[in-house]
Amino acid sequence: MADRYLSFTGTAPGRFLTRRLGLPQPAALHRWSPERPTLEGALLLLTAGKSTLDDMAAVLARTGLEVRTEATAQGPAGVVLDATGVADVEALAEVHAALHPVVRSVADGGRVVVLGAALDPADHHQAAAQQALEGFVRSLGKEIGRGRTVTLVRIVGAAAGSVAGAESTFRFLLSPRSAYVSGQVIEVRGAGGDGGAGEMSVPEDWARPLAGRTALVTGAARGIGRAVAETLARDGARVVCLDVPGAAAELDVVAARLDGGRALALDITSADAGARIGEALPDGLDVLVHNAGITRDRKLANMPAERWGSVLDVNLASVLRTTDVLLGDGVVRRGGRIVATASIAGIAGNVGQTNYAASKAGVVGFVRALAPRGWGEHGVTVNAVAPGFIETKMTAAVPLFVREAGRRMNSLGQGGLPVDVAETIAWLAGPGSWGVNGQVVRVCGQSLLGA
């Protein structure tokens, strides 16, 4: 369903009226397209404190943006502030000094990325200063406006100050692909990992980073799942689209549109689902996307056991069962990526969704616990996305005022699109994202609740 308010605020009368009434003024977001694949403008690289990174400019230059170290009359498309060397409260003044003069000049739809370091448990002054960056970034994201986003990237475990492990993350955050990701804190392991998934892998072609790889997407017949399948295929993957047999007709249509796409009609909650997926993929799997999910909303006092059980089975138990089988049988190959779909509801809760929120919070627990072991034992990364209000057929069916509240209660003042979730999953699924593990990235426009 079209967001008429967003369209109205893009007109001269709409801008005038909403400004006079103090109403939200969301900006139309620049999302990736073949015609406009990059941000439009230069990238300003600044430093607060003494930098601990030795190859930042070179890595940023590979994003395709011109890197500058001094502000010019023309505002930048993005700003990267290296604050990894901020180790005490006094050094935080340099964060203010660096960004205060330039933040207003960042282009509409631009990006601000602050780089932080891991918190040092042996130095409480450094830990306090680095943690302060999180509050700073979340607050700046809520005030910067005009479709601009702000993100904190923590560089951890970098050998000799290398940020090579963050290249795919910079390419994502400093591009139109991250239009609906803001106010997030993302940890990225630097070069010099400990083997397994930490072994550095760079795509031969960053335009098609998944070329030659096989991906499985559950719940692929419609909505977010369909967008994920299409985006992974765009990036070069051979995509197996899985959904329930009742959606087989829609599933076939989706798979037929993809180059090398295949349809697999299967109930993901069946006890033998993992084994059947393994049989369908005798050559193995590189990317496993757990996207299938259902809602059966009702307040707990009115919720029968069937509504509780069905949601937990589809959204959580099936994720655990199939992952155990596919990892245990070696179907997910070393260097593989597992990405699950959580939800803001699992982080902040939601009225009438105790079952759904429990299942999605369970996905977060699954990711955080499995990620270190998946890295060490199986050579795979395990991450999750947590969508906020996304424009789908499901959200189009909710009452008008609830829908409008969902759209406006985030820093970008609008709902996201399925492709916003898909782009985030594609970044996490890429071979260059070997340094990203155990992360739950909220695709919510920086929701004002739970973000």
Residue 307 lies in a domain: yes
Residue 3 lies in a domain: no
Which pLDDT band, with edges at 50, 70 and 90, does 8 fall under?
Answer: confident
Residues 75 and 209 in one domain: no
Q: Is the pLDDT of residue 195 over 60?
A: no
Residues 172 and 116 in one domain: yes
Residue 294 lies in a domain: yes
Which of 131, 164, 189 is the last residue in one of the domains? 189
Q: Which domain holds residue 132?
A: 38-189
The mean pLDDT of the chain is: 93
Task: Give the per-residue pLDDT at 161.
Answer: 65
Q: How many domains does the chain have?
A: 2
Cα 245 to Cα 362: distance, rounded to the nearest angstrom: 26
Residue 327 lies in a domain: yes
Task: Give the per-residue pLDDT at 158.
Answer: 63
pLDDT tens per residue, range 36-72? 999 999 999 999 998 878 788 899 999 999 999 998 8
Residues 396 and 372 in one domain: yes
Per-residue tokens: 345: 């509801």
Residues 150 and 240 in one domain: no
Lowest mean pLDDT among 22-31, 176-185, 190-199, 209-218: 190-199
Residue 397 lies in a domain: yes
Task: Give the per-residue pLDDT at 198.
Answer: 45
Per-residue tokens: 357: 């929120």
Higher pLDDT, 55 or 387: 387
Residues 183 and 237 in one domain: no
CATH number of the domain at 165, please.
3.40.50.720
Which of 158, 189, 220 is the last residue in one of the domains? 189
Residue 51 lies in a domain: yes
Give the closest residue to 153 by CA, choosing from 168, 145, 315, 66.
168
Residues 351 and 304 in one domain: yes
18-24 contact pairs (CB < 8 A, 24+): 24/408, 24/413
Residues 109 and 251 in one domain: no
Which pLDDT band, with edges at 50, 70 and 90, does 401 fall under?
Answer: confident
Cα 385 to Cα 440: distance, rounded to the nearest angstrom: 5
Q: Is the pLDDT of residue 80 over 90?
A: yes
Q: Is the pLDDT of residue 225 over 90?
A: yes
Which pLDDT band, with edges at 50, 70 and 90, does 249 fall under?
Answer: very high
pLDDT tens per residue, range 348-384? 999 999 999 999 999 999 999 999 999 999 999 999 9
Q: Is the pLDDT of residue 436 over 70?
A: yes
In the sheet with 78-85, reading across from the earlier edge strand, the strands are: 67-68, 43-49, 78-85, 111-117, 149-156, 184-189
Residues 377 and 309 in one domain: yes
Task: Give the per-residue pLDDT at 3.
Answer: 87
Higher pLDDT, 426 or 448: 426
Residues 272 and 397 in one domain: yes
Residues 181 and 269 in one domain: no
Buried residues in 12-44 as b, exposed as e (16+ CB within 10 A): eebeeebeeeeebebbebbbbeeeeebbebbbb
Q: Is the pLDDT of residue 107 over 50?
A: yes
Which pLDDT band, with edges at 50, 70 and 90, does 186 fall under?
Answer: very high
Task: Give the per-residue pLDDT at 167.
Answer: 94
Which helix (H) or strand (E) covers residue 63, if one does? none
DSSP annotation of 317 reads: I
Residues 218 and 348 in one domain: yes
Residue 11 lies in a domain: no
Give the closest residue to 183 by CA, choosing from 383, 428, 442.
442
Share of the chain above pLDDT 70, in %: 96
Which pLDDT band, with edges at 50, 70 and 90, does 450 fall under?
Answer: low
Share of the chain above pLDDT 90, in %: 82
pLDDT tens per residue, range 157-185? 766 567 888 999 999 999 999 999 999 99
Residues 173 and 229 in one domain: no
Cα 88 to Cα 94: distance, rounded to the nearest angstrom: 11
Per-residue tokens: 265: 């009609």
Which pLDDT band, with edges at 50, 70 and 90, does 326 fall under?
Answer: very high
Task: Give the per-residue pLDDT at 197.
Answer: 43
Which of 189, 219, 246 is the last residue in one of the domains? 189
Compute the average pLDDT of residues 208-230.
Answer: 98
Residue 10 lies in a domain: no
- Catalytic positions, written as ranges: 356
